[in-house]
Amino acid sequence: MGLFDFIFDETLTFETNADYALRHSGPALTDQVGGAIELAWDRVIESRGSGEFERYTHDPVGFIEDVLGDQLWGADESPTGKPGQREIAQAIAENDDVAWGTCHGVGKTWLLARISLWFFITRPDSIVISTAPLNKQVKDMLWRQIRNAHANSRTPLPGRILTQRAEMPGSPEWYMVGFATDTPAGADSSITAQGYHAVGGLLFVVDEASGVPEGVYNAARGYLTGGDAKRVYIGNQNSRHGRFYDAIHGENSSFVSFQTSAFDAPQSIGRHAVMNQSWIKIMQKDCGPNYEADPLYQVQVLGVPPSSDSHSLIPLSLLEENKDLQPDLPGRTIGVDVARLGDDKCVAFLNDRGRLKARHQWSKARTHESAEIISQLMTKWRVPNARDVKVDVTGVGGGVVDDLYRREVYVEPVDFGAGPQGDWDHVIGGHLKFKTRRSELHYIYYRLMHMNRLAIPERYERAWSDTVSLRSIPDETGFFKIEPKEKMKQRIGRSPDDTDAILCSLSRGSVKAEVEGSGRIIKRRRRRAA
């Protein structure tokens, strides 16, 4: 037997004389022999091709559970008996178009990765195209799952999985590719998504489908000219508009659709956790007593579109779009909303160049205690200049600012009831009229979000819930008006403390101050109202 002659048993385990060489040779020969073994093993796997896997061509459940060795959950495991991963996977095999609107945490990206591998491995000369709004979602989430599933498969699989591309050696027309619509390669989405036609079938999968541009969906229509072509759209239903919404809810939709809530998913399947019940309770607490009417709760927990999307000042889809951005706004500021001695919370946010970096909450504190907390946050968050700390002086906040002034910490007071200041006119334009500072700051918040210059990470769930609950009020006199705070509190069942703190962090000069390095104010000048 030669050095690289292989003896295989029925289970395709093997042994070679090279194993002996590896144990008894020097480093140089070890590297050479090891590389030869790896190459030989690749050839063995590739020589098997997809032949032994073709029996799973119409059985993704069997492929995922028998070949990959993973476990799906379905209607049998669901507390409500509704379809789960198992039924959705089989629906993809039996239908050309499938759309799945989900809550958080049910394993949608996990399933999409394994469906991609199933189609790719079981169909010679097939093509799988995957996309999502952000490069992070494609590279670090969907394709990381694809790489892990391929590497850890119970049965060794053919093909080479790269960062965002997979290929079958010797078969240039047999591959998978992933692209994000926010990268230079995906900037012209209609072009990026065109030109794929496969002899062995084509699968087009979209993760976080609410955020993908219309051009991608339009181009995908061209895929259907082939014989075996499938489209799978999966994600949270962040909007009541767009192609993903129409796929699930459109009267003439060609899609077989599913909707899954957090209450439909089991807590665990085997040894693997699925739905965290404590997270549901946290969401209910963060979204307030009327949580079932909260758009964030509806999307992330119930798995349905927001009921009030068309009336939101800042829709959930925009929060999703901006959440991973790194904006370039000037300044590092702290915004503070001070609560009365009651159920309302004092909230402070660190706004670093347009991205919220930290949050602190406290309650039932006296004015001097709140002043001390703010002083400590200035040190902890490295904001040494008092002029960069913006404190709401409506109500008891005025007493907190007075206490800070006695300490010679001259923060900027933000009076929501005062007139507009015009401090952002150079960015947002000065064409609208405002009666109050509160309305002006809400419009600044709205404009910066739509300009993609403000990012709120998803971990700040209360801020998201407050934000999607904001409502503007039509005004025939030409003024921009926002729903009164007391009315909003009645509607959502709590005070919007998080958004008030964010608004404060955006203030840039109801009082213009020149400050020494110590933070002590040496000159103050009130700006004329615009």
Q: Report the 3 state secondary structure along 95-133.
A: CCEEEEEECCCCCHHHHHHHHHHHHHHHCCCCEEEEEEC
Chain position carrying tokens 């008006």: 481
422/438 Cα distance (integer angstroms): 12
371/402 Cα distance (integer angstroms): 9
Query: CB within 8 A of 485, min separation 6: which ones?
Result: 438, 495, 496
pLDDT of residue 307: 78
Reduced to 3 states, what is the DSSP secondary structure of residue 481? strand
245/497 Cα distance (integer angstroms): 31
pLDDT of residue 4: 30
Reduced to 3 states, what is the DSSP secondary structure of residue 514? strand
Q: CATH classification of 52-273, choosing from 3.40.50.300, 3.40.47.10, 3.30.930.10, 3.30.470.10?
A: 3.40.50.300
pLDDT of residue 83: 95
Q: How far is CA 270 from CA 65, 73, 107, 263, in A?
A: 13, 9, 15, 18
pLDDT of residue 107: 92
Closest to 258 (Cα-Cα) out of 134, 118, 78, 120: 78
Closest to 360 (Cα-Cα) out of 343, 339, 346: 346
Inter-residue contact 76 to 233 (CB < 8 Å): no
Pairing of strands 268-269, 127-132: unpaired
pLDDT of residue 27: 47
CA angle 208, 210, 214 (to 5 degrees): 115
205/232 Cα distance (integer angstroms): 5
pLDDT of residue 51: 66
b/e per residue 307-327 (b: at least 16 CB within 10 A): ebbeebbbbbbbbbbbbbbeb
Taking the chain (530 residues) in consecutive chunks of 10 residues, what is each chunk's mean pLDDT?
Answer: 31 35 43 46 46 89 96 95 96 96 93 96 93 88 95 94 91 91 56 61 92 83 74 91 91 93 91 88 84 85 80 84 90 92 82 97 92 97 96 91 95 94 80 86 91 94 92 72 87 90 89 36 36
362/375 Cα distance (integer angstroms): 14
pLDDT of residue 384: 94
Burial class (CB in 10 A: 0-12, 13-18, 19+), 214: exposed
480/120 Cα distance (integer angstroms): 53
pLDDT of residue 518: 36
Inter-residue contact 507 to 423 (CB < 8 Å): yes
Closest to 90 (Cα-Cα) out of 111, 104, 70: 111
List the CATH code of the domain at 311-526: 3.30.420.240
Domain ranges of the chain: 6-48, 52-273, 277-305, 311-526
